[in-house]
Amino acid sequence: MIAELGHLLAFLALATAAAQSYLGLTTGGEAPRRLAVATGMFLVLSMLTLVISFVRLDFSVALVAKNSHSLKPIIYRIAGAWGNHEGSMLLWCVIMAGYGAAAALWMRNDRLRDRALGVQGLLTLGSLTYLLFASSPFTRLADPPLDGGGMNPLLQDPAVALHPPFLYMGYVGMSFVFSLAAAGLINGTIDRDWAKRVRPWALTAWSSLTVGIALGSIWAYYELGWGGWWFWDPVENASFMPWLVGAALVHSLIVTEKRGGMAAWTVFLAVLSFCLALLGTFLVRSGVMTSVHAFATDPTRGLVLLAGLGVAGGAALALFAWRAPKLASGPEFDPVSREGALVLNNLFLSVGAALVLLGTVTPMVVQWLGEIKVIPPESASLSIGEPYFQLTLAPMIAVLLLFLPLAQAAPWRKADLSPLLKWLTPAMGLALAGALVAMALGGWGIWLGFGVLVGLWVVVGVGFDLWRRVGPAGIGRVFRLPLTVWGMAIAHIGVGVFVIGATVESAARVERTFPLSNGQSAEMAGWTFEFQGVHSEEGPNYYATQADIKVTHGGTTEMIHPEKRFYPVADTSTTEVAIRKTLGGDVYVALGDTIRDEPGVWRIRIAHHPMIDWVFGGASLIAVGGFISLVARLRRRAPAPAESPAIDPTAEAPATPGVGATA
Amino acid sequence: MRKRSQRLWLIGAAAALTTGAVALAVMGLQDTVAFFQSPSDIAAKGVANLKQSIRVGGLVEKGSETHGSDGALLFKITDGVNTVPVVYHDIPPDLFEEGKGVVAEGKFDETGRLVAKRVLAKHDENYMPKETYDALKRAAESGGDKNYGKEPTT
């Protein structure tokens, strides 16, 4: 019964989304608001029924039978609801409608909200149609199996259980930014008020995307057993492109909000970020490439996604082309100013995104050209990997970051460089000294030095800027700086921390594979690893071969147990590495396979990943900074008049509620 | 006039940056792209450039998996007609197995062995990299083993 209820709820949402889009784009007012809330509620409940089916192991539901198993732990039964194509599409719809409902509840009532709800309704309608008619998660089986097919064991992991919801909060969050852009273009007003109201949504989406990408990266680091955290795989690039454009957007929105400038460009970025999110979904789901995300390759799914991308992107760009010439360009500014710096930021980030796009789609385009015989098929297969992305992106990011502390300190309209430079000279000195130390410790690698220099320059420069903002009043005032400044500073420090971590980790990483038999030892980076054989363990739904390795380091000794797991239901093995955290980085031990013809000899892979926590820590700081900026924005807003009549004396004058505030 | 100069430097900055990016991209694409070749392609054409990364795909030949004295993994990739010897100084992926699909990426050494930097195995029991499938199919069409496996899509 419960699956039918979920199916019915999704159909109800289809109806309310249709009504929401029609009324939102025409009459507006209270009706589309209520309908948006209803669409969101129906879909949340629908998702809940699917989760219940997964938890109760209702194998008469085809999706549960295919993706769950009675031996699977409860948390992965829940996560299993979105760990497959159909369930994740439902999650997509839930989050899309959820953004609509949130906007209906919290946004000021005017034409921008109505029309944004209307466009959001259209997007939800499209997604739901695809869900219900091309990939329904509620299909029943006439002849239910006794047990399910299980879930890809690689995905049975806490980080991956949370990765899709956050990633979708980001990807799909861009849909509401897109809707606001389309609504603004329909209204013909892209002004400071528009930017002010778009910013919280853009910040929510972009910060969530940051968390989602970081979770995926952490998972790859410890679960795949290679110790890498970014492979420049098309799947990763698919999420990195909207992230870069989203980063450009949250910066250009500042110019539009504070100065009324860059309006057309900001709207363009808002449209583009959702188009790239759709492109990413297409690349990942259509089967044009293979990964753990391509749950099953189905060309028709790819075509539907591509058509959706074409329709949404094409319509929005047409709208843009029609309205953009009429948009006001903001007040003039000097190249050396905060506006100028933010323009530069946007140029670098969007050119960076274009380079990632080029490297990601070229192999696919070439392969397609081979398939349609434009070029000989045997020469139509190539791969573009890490060297390309490092060569092209590293210089871009480095130059961008050299400007960052200056940009953060520059005033609007026109900046005088010389006092800024004077103020920041000690920061550059500190960064140079730090880089020299790093080079001395790390063997004088030029890239190592340069990366550390850039990262430290950002961290120290941002610190100096905070100090300057505090002024001579004393260090105690640092906590009274506005939240917006903290959000910006923390995110920027996160960028610096990330760059330092990423450079040091990739320059000074040591990894080696040792063939070891019982009693043999290996040494690396001052650690001794004595292999003492393997033994068997049994988990809830897997069998494990665990190695016993005695680790000695500086007089302390402990046992570590890297293991290989075999999941009989899915007939696959996974690697569970043993990681020991130290101040300087991770010691990372993975158990390989036995060496053929030599029983008892195992390949053990030992690696040292220096400063790896700075990589993930930096990414987390970026997300935290984004969320702090969001909170700062929400706190500044007037309380909704209906719910809380009390007047907050610290809030800015509340905007007049009512229709036509932007008209 | 001010407005115009503002536009001018904007366009100038964008043009300079784009030129730089295009130059970087061209450089990047020239040096770092790895082309896919099947063992038969390599047998037919040889290896022109030892500095060029190459991806070789096929099946791990049955009975070819051994190890060097330093524990390195040695195996051969076959497309049913020709084989390519591969050496890999790391732990192969979990799904690496004799008789199953594999793609190895790396550079050839003077002795004609592919020194792999990366070895990719199939992602699940049904999947075979598309390029592997195509390579096996081409080899089979030119008179090799007809049993080259299933279609890559499930």
Q: What is the pLDDT of residues A444-502, one digit of tens each?
A: 788 889 999 999 999 999 998 888 888 776 677 777 888 999 999 999 999 999 999 99
Is A395 in contact with B24 (Cβ distance < 8 A)? yes
Is A351 in contact with B123 (Cβ distance < 8 A)? no
B66 touches chain A (CB under 8 A): yes
Over 60: is that where the pLDDT of B152 sits? Answer: no
Tell me the nearest-neighbour CA distance from A332 into chain B, angstroms. 6
Residues of A in contact with B3 (CB under 8 A): 332
- Strand B73-78 to B83-88 pairing: antiparallel
- Strand B83-88 to B114-121 pairing: parallel
Alpha carbons A134 and A296: distance in angstroms, whole number: 13
The pair of structure tokens assigned to A409 is 């300190």
> Quick one: average pLDDT of B108-124?
80
Question: Given pLDDT bands bounded at 50, 70 and 90, which one contains residue B154?
Answer: very low
Read off the amino acid at residue A171.
Answer: Y
**Domain final residue, candidates A572, A598, A613:** A613
> A466 with A532, same domain?
no
Query: Is residue A198 packed enough to be buried (19+ CB in 10 Å), middle (13-18) or exposed (0-12)?
Result: buried
> A483 with A627, same domain?
yes
Q: What is the pLDDT of residues B74-108, one digit of tens each?
A: 899 988 888 999 999 887 877 787 888 888 888 88
pLDDT at A633: 86
> A626 with A478, same domain?
yes
Type and span of the H or E element at B54: strand B54-60
B89-to-A25, A528, A601, A603, B86 alpha-carbon distances in Å = 61, 21, 16, 10, 10
Question: Given pLDDT bands bounded at 50, 70 and 90, which one contains residue A653?
Answer: very low
Alpha carbons A190 and A264: distance in angstroms, whole number: 8
Over 60: is that where the pLDDT of A638 sits? Answer: no
pLDDT at B9: 82
Is B29 in contact with A605 (Cβ distance < 8 A)? no
Query: Does residue A521 form part of some domain?
Result: yes
pLDDT at A368: 81
pLDDT at A643: 39
Alpha carbons A356 and A243: distance in angstroms, whole number: 11
Alpha carbons A641 and A604: distance in angstroms, whole number: 64
Contact by Cβ (8 Å): A36, A100: yes
pLDDT at B100: 80
Query: Does residue A540 form part of some domain?
Result: yes
Over 80: is that where the pLDDT of A656 sits? Answer: no
> Quick one: average pLDDT of B49-55?
79
- Average model confidence (pLDDT) for chain A? 87
B16-to-A72, A99, A241, A344, A421 alpha-carbon distances in Å = 56, 39, 22, 11, 24
- Lowest mean pLDDT: which of A33-42, A300-309, B109-118? A300-309
Q: What is the pLDDT of residues A33-50, one digit of tens each?
A: 999 999 999 999 999 999
Segments of A457-542 assigned E as strands: 510-516, 521-524, 527-538
Query: Does residue A16 form part of some domain?
Result: no
Give SS3 for A26: coil
Residues 6+ away with beta carbon under 8 Å from A193: A661, A662
> Quick one: average pLDDT of A532-555?
90
Alpha carbons A166 and A295: distance in angstroms, whole number: 19
Question: Given pLDDT bands bounded at 50, 70 and 90, which one contains residue A628?
Answer: very high
Segments of A332-480 assigned E as strands: 382-384
pLDDT at A298: 64
Alpha helices in B33-129 (DSSP H): 39-45
CA distance from start to end of chain B: 64
Question: Given pLDDT bands bounded at 50, 70 and 90, which one contains residue B147?
Answer: very low
> A399 with A488, same domain?
yes
Residues of B in contact with A389 (CB under 8 A): 28
> A585 with A543, same domain?
yes
Interface of B with A in 1-40 (CB under 8 A): 2-3, 6, 9-10, 13-14, 17-18, 20-21, 24-25, 27-29, 31-36, 38
Burial B50-71 (b: 16+ CB within 10 A, else e): eeebbbbbbbbbeebbebeeeb
Over 60: is that where the pLDDT of A655 sits? Answer: no
From A509, A510, A501, A454, select the one nearest A613 (Cα to Cα): A501
Type and span of the H or E element at B87: strand B83-88
Q: What is the span of the domain harbouring residue A608?
A: 510-613
Give the CA count within 13 Å in the CB-facing half-sphere of A482.
11
pLDDT at A289: 62
Q: What is the pLDDT of residues A101-160, one digit of tens each?
A: 999 999 988 999 999 999 999 999 999 999 998 889 999 988 888 888 777 777 788 888
Give SS3 for A174: helix
Over 60: is that where the pLDDT of A172 sits? Answer: yes
Alpha carbons A514 and A605: distance in angstroms, whole number: 6
From A3, A181, A208, select the one nearest A87 (Cα to Cα): A3
* A2-25 vs A111-134: helix crossing angle, rounded to 10: 140
Query: Does residue A473 form part of some domain?
Result: yes
Give the CA count within 13 Å in the CB-facing half-sphere of B115.
9
Highest-scoring range by mean pLDDT, A86-90, A187-191, A615-619: A615-619
Read off the amino acid at residue B3.
Answer: K
> A563 with A467, same domain?
no
Q: What is the pLDDT of residues A363-383, one digit of tens each?
A: 888 878 877 877 776 667 777
> A433 with A520, same domain?
no
B69 touches chain A (CB under 8 A): no
Query: Does residue A532 form part of some domain?
Result: yes
Q: What is the pLDDT of residues A402-451, one digit of tens each?
A: 999 988 888 888 888 888 888 888 889 999 999 999 888 877 788 889 99
Q: What is the DSSP letter of A651?
A: S
Q: What is the pLDDT of residues A308-332, one digit of tens each?
A: 889 998 998 999 988 888 887 777 7
Residue of B nearest to A353 (CA): B21
Alpha carbons B77 and B97: distance in angstroms, whole number: 11
Chains A, B: CB contacts within 8 A come to 127
Residues of A in contact with B73 (CB under 8 A): 603
Query: Does residue A3 form part of some domain?
Result: no
The pair of structure tokens assigned to B33 is 């792209």
Is B32 in contact with A388 (Cβ distance < 8 A)? yes
> A500 with A397, same domain?
yes
> A607 with A523, same domain?
yes
Question: Given pLDDT bands bounded at 50, 70 and 90, which one contains residue B133?
Answer: low
Name the more confident of A594 and B1: A594
> A526 with A463, same domain?
no
Query: Does residue A520 form part of some domain?
Result: yes
Contact by Cβ (8 Å): B98, B122: no
Would you report the helix, strand and coil content of chain A in percent, each value rounded to 5? 65, 10, 25
Query: Does residue A331 form part of some domain?
Result: no
pLDDT at A598: 74
Burial A249-269 (b: 16+ CB within 10 A, else e): bbbbbbbbbbbbbbbbbbbbb
Alpha carbons A147 and B62: distance in angstroms, whole number: 34
> Quick one: average pLDDT of A10-29?
95
> A411 with A485, same domain?
yes
Alpha carbons A367 and A344: distance in angstroms, whole number: 35
Residues of A in contact with B88 (CB under 8 A): none
pLDDT at A657: 36
Q: What is the pLDDT of residues A286-299, one digit of tens each?
A: 766 655 555 555 66
Give SS3 for A593: strand
Alpha-carbon Rg of chain A, whole angstroms?
27
Sheet arrangement for strand A578-581: A510-516, A602-610, A585-594, A578-581
pLDDT at B90: 81
In 10 A of CB A463, how many CB atoms?
17
> Quick one: average pLDDT of A596-615?
87
Alpha carbons B47 and B44: distance in angstroms, whole number: 9
The pair of structure tokens assigned to B79 is 């497309």
Over 80: is that where the pLDDT of A619 sits? Answer: yes
ipTM value of the model?
Answer: 0.73
Over 90: is that where the pLDDT of A256 sits? Answer: yes
Alpha carbons A347 and A244: distance in angstroms, whole number: 11
Looking at the 3D structure of chain A, how many domains does it have?
2
> A556 with A526, same domain?
yes
pLDDT at A639: 45
A134-to-A298, A428, B10 alpha-carbon distances in Å = 11, 57, 46
Q: How far is CA A414 from the centre of its chain?
A: 34
Over 70: is that where the pLDDT of A13 sits? Answer: yes
Alpha carbons A579 and A560: distance in angstroms, whole number: 8
